Structure 1
Amino acid sequence: MHTTATPTPPAARQVDGPGLTITDPRTGEYLWSIPEAGPDEANDAIRIARNAAAGWAAVGPAERGAALRKAARALDAAAEELAGLNSRETGRPFQEALAGIAAGVSTLEQYAEIGPLHRGHSLLGSRSASDYTVAEPRGVAVLLTPWNDPVAVACGLIGAAVVTGNTVLHKPSERCPRLGEVLGAVLTTAFPPGVLQTVSGGAGVGTLLTRAGVDVIAHVGSSASGTLIAGAGAQTGAHVIRENGGNDPLVVDRDVDPVWAAEQAAIGAFSNSGQICTAVERIYVHEAIAARFCSALEAEAALRNHNGSVAPLVDTRLRNSVHAQVSEALEQGARAVEGGVVPEGPGAFYPATVLLECTDAMQVMTEETFGPVAAVRVVPTFEDALRLAGSGRYGLAATVLTGSIAHVQKAIAALPVGTVKINEVFGGAPGGSAQPRGVSGEGFGYGPELLDEFTRVKVVHVAAPPSFALHLPDEPAPEPVPAEQMAEQVQDPNGSPQ
């Protein structure tokens, strides 16, 4: 599709030229096709954003916040339509999609509140001068967002970018382009023309946008794509924010309830069919409770498979990738006690899978799987688990289940990740923005710190001019007051200093 600049998006349609074809992940049936933006359309969108940048930057912060509140209200009004599109294009259950949109509304409202409060700092300098910093928008921002939580993630980046005075080009994932178009049409009603545009397309369109010399690029997606985007930013000088893939470990200590630990592991590995950046991907369980833990985890997976609560993966391409990792692990000696087989029938379903006897030579332990797979390795000590959990290329998040405060402190200090979670795989206070490490990304992707990412700092020094310049040419400067006389002027009638 070309850029979205009106409240009504183009209707889904069959396309003759290059386009994005979407099938239902539950049935495999054709849904619709969306044309991709070509080079001319992408360049036009950048030109429009660039022309609108100065005017939007000049708008007062409170007014920008008010526009974001208007966008939040429009999103809330369109929640059911967007949730339906999310469910149809990606297979996400409707209620989960609706919850993601509610999170997007909340995020827009939060940035509407904290955006106008974003400020610089006063600096300690000479008493005869003022020194402070000013936060200014970077300019034109390209936002590349994923399909696994498409509305909530997009709202976070869009909200932080526009409330700080940037203009935005949003490229939604090619796996949910219709949702992206409608989301853009809903949100653009709140802003002046050119402030927010939606550009649809696949990797080629993303490459065009990231190499076009914009001012900031924010990407949430795979590590492979993130590495290419970081390279593009290095060439063009764009500021790059990346929240990329993870291979998040779960450490299960010997002193926890193994059934409760298995419940936490299942939540982390199987929620949204494992299609979460911070999903539990590899598990290190202490040998003292390993048997009971593994049995309980197998039961958790079997329950989900038998009650049909595991949603399909986004498409068969991802399912093939997930199953390839599982098949490799089985060939190298892992044992599937539940799942591990591609089911018969239409769609992109894959069962909740528990793999035991895994080793570090297997991709399920070293790479992001992004599917409902819990890969387990039994370890003799907590220290071994911590050492293995801290290994690898990724550095997004890690979870530790333990009753030992000493082990808690040791884990916090040792794990080289952006987020450490103790005794809960998901959760946390609002604004807990983290800095991913390794191939998992760089920069703050959420929270108040994201406002800093979308602005640049200017230092201001204001000194007083020489005293003679403060007076008109025909007005003589007053004689300086001697110190003794000044002291007399601040005495009260009783002779005590005031």
Structure 2
Amino acid sequence: MATETVIETVPTQLLVDGAWVDATGGGTFEVTNPATGDVLARIADATPADGERALAAAAEAQRDWARTEPRVRGEVLRSAFELLTERADDFARLMTLEMGKALPEAKGEVAYGAEFFRWFSEEAVRIHGRYSAAPAGNTRLITMKGPVGPTLMITPWNFPLAMGTRKIGPAIAAGCTMVVKPAHETPLTMLALAALLEEVGLPRGVLNVVTTTDSGGVCEPLIRDPRLRKLTFTGSTAVGKVLVGQAADQLLRVSMELGGNAPFIVFDDADLDAAVDGAMLAKMRNIGEACTSANRFLVHESVAGEFSTRMAERMGSLTVGDGTHDGVDVGPLITEKARTGVHELVSDAVSGGARALTGGEVPDGPGHFYPPTVLVDVPPSARVFREEIFGPVAPIATFADEDEVVERANDTEYGLVAYVFTRDHARVLRVSEALEFGMVGVNTGIVSNPAAPFGGVKHSGFGREGGFEGIEEYLETKYVGSAL
């Protein structure tokens, strides 16, 4: 479908209580293409009053939605999975236009994001409690699970579809109503997804979408409102800390998927072909703009030279350009500010003695492009090892032994994901247990899977999304003690 046609099919208003409405006062903002700077659409810019209306709708719909049969909730999700899969090309193009990732990768996100709907459609009918006799024998213990209640979902710009389906899927399955606030950089995909859910029969008020450039002004009153019972956020650690503080007033159930500083460890016995392939996936997925992106490459000194050379060859061969064009591997970063931040990290490393084997220079021309970059001889003090890069830059350092690399890998406030490449199965268990991360990828560059629990520890947040654990984040446990 042509670009103009894809954009024309996307709603540009707020979704509140089953109706597409303008923002209070009629305010709008522009959504632009990061590859060209072209304006894609003008959409409603919600005010705090609009957020309150959305929460009121979610609170009003909560009782009936919670009572809706699990099979019905599951069938809504299954229908959404099927329709989303059918329209994969349109959703992929829309994401590429507003976020920048290359079209083949956007299609991959549609497939990944749709799987959350399929997975949780199957989990909706498997919510269960238990029945048992008390140890004394004179009482029966019954537990039952019910929905937490109205939920505020704040989603990021880097995965406009999957970060929405990963939250919306379990909420629908559990019987929770929602207010979704997508990132203002990439709101079009969420609006299109909301329209799709309406189309497959999601009742009015269950899902409400407020797009805004005033995220704090719209969200904080909702977080402090007693009608809201859960907050889920994917984004930076700094913003997450603020939101957790706000959520304390109402003691909300909170899920936080925050920043990362993933180590990518290559031991001397690793299959280098597999390690380089895995490194390319872990580094270049989503142009490096992912919390799971490999941020620090720690390579055994005996194989570091060969690994670095191979990485530079692979990274340097990637084609940078507008993601909608054939043959493009790497699209633009999301904003000029983001590109500036990435280049500052590279410049800091180089000023400290690092060498760029490929990339490292800001290109001329329109768009927020940055070339895939490999840095070697990076000093331990470089900012690129301490801060989340969120771009196509691979800094490489060496290590001598297992204890040393585990200590260095854990030397970060973050704890989302780590990657380990080795052929030693005993080492796999030792290192996986010693790493202070919520997820460990062993001989693979991708850990994300709808059937697995996604989440981190330390400053990378708490709570899990996906897997059997994902729906538990939207359920409360009630205990009933019954005397005989």
Please state how far the C-alpha of 1:463 moved relative to its aligned partner: 1.5
1:117 aligns with 2:126: yes
Please state how far the C-alpha of 1:8 moved relative to its aligned partner: 8.9
1:212 aligns with 2:228: no
Seen in structure 2, the aligned counterparts of structure 1 residues 366 and 406 have a Cα distance that, compared at 3 Å, is same
Residue equivalent to 2:440: 420
Residue equivalent to 2:410: 390
Q: How does 1:82-231 map to 2 (within 5 A)?
A: 82-125=91-134, 126-189=136-199, 190-202=201-213, 203-204=215-216, 205-213=218-226, 214-231=228-245
Task: State TM-score, norm by structure 1.
Answer: 0.87
- 3-state secondary structure, aligned to 1:346: coil
Seen in structure 2, the aligned counterparts of structure 1 residues 429 and 72 have a Cα distance that, compared at 3 Å, is closer
Residue equivalent to 2:293: 279
CA distance, structure 2, for counterparts of residue 152 and residue 108 of structure 1: 10
Deviations 1:360-419 (A, max 9, x none): 322210111111110111112232111101111100010111122232122112100001
Please state how far the C-alpha of 1:9 moved relative to its aligned partner: 6.0
CA distance, structure 2, for counterparts of residue 74 and residue 324 of structure 1: 43
CA distance, structure 1, for counterparts of residue 82 and residue 131 of structure 2: 36
Q: How does 1:49-68 map to 2 (within 5 A)?
A: 49-68=58-77
Deviations 1:34-72 (A, max 9, x none): 231101111011111111111111112122212222333
Task: Please provide the CA RMSD for this pair.
Answer: 2.3
Identity %: 32
- 3-state secondary structure, aligned to 2:15: coil
Residue equivalent to 2:335: 315
1:296 aligns with 2:306: no
> Aligned match of 2:264 in 238, 250, 262?
250
- 3-state secondary structure, aligned to 2:362: coil
Residue equivalent to 1:480: none
Seen in structure 2, the aligned counterparts of structure 1 residues 274 and 198 have a Cα distance that, compared at 3 Å, is same
Deviations 1:127-162 (A, max 9, x none): 454212111111100111122222122112111012
Deviates more, 1:174-183 or 1:65-74: 65-74
Please state how far the C-alpha of 1:77 moved relative to its aligned partner: 4.0
Task: State TM-score, norm by structure 2.
Answer: 0.90
Deviations 1:160-193 (A, max 9, x none): 0121111111111111112222211211332111
Please state how far the C-alpha of 1:434 moved relative to its aligned partner: 4.0
Does the CA contact (< 8 Å) of 2:437 and 2:456 recur in 1? Answer: yes
Does the CA contact (< 8 Å) of 2:102 and 2:329 recur in 1? Answer: no
Residue equivalent to 2:468: 448
Question: Aligned AA for 1:409?
Answer: L
CA distance, structure 1, for counterparts of residue 152 and residue 107 of structure 2: 26
Residue equivalent to 1:437: 457
Residue equivalent to 1:492: none
Query: Max radius of gyration: which structure?
Result: 1
Please state how far the C-alpha of 1:272 moved relative to its aligned partner: 1.7
**Structure 1: stretches of 5+ with no match in the other structure:** 465-498
Does the CA contact (< 8 Å) of 1:36 and 1:201 recur in 2? Answer: yes
Residue equivalent to 2:324: none
Does the CA contact (< 8 Å) of 2:75 and 2:121 recur in 1? Answer: yes
Question: Aligned AA for 1:175?
Answer: E
Q: How does 1:269-418 map to 2 (within 5 A)?
A: 269-305=283-319, 308-418=328-438
Seen in structure 2, the aligned counterparts of structure 1 residues 270 and 152 have a Cα distance that, compared at 3 Å, is same
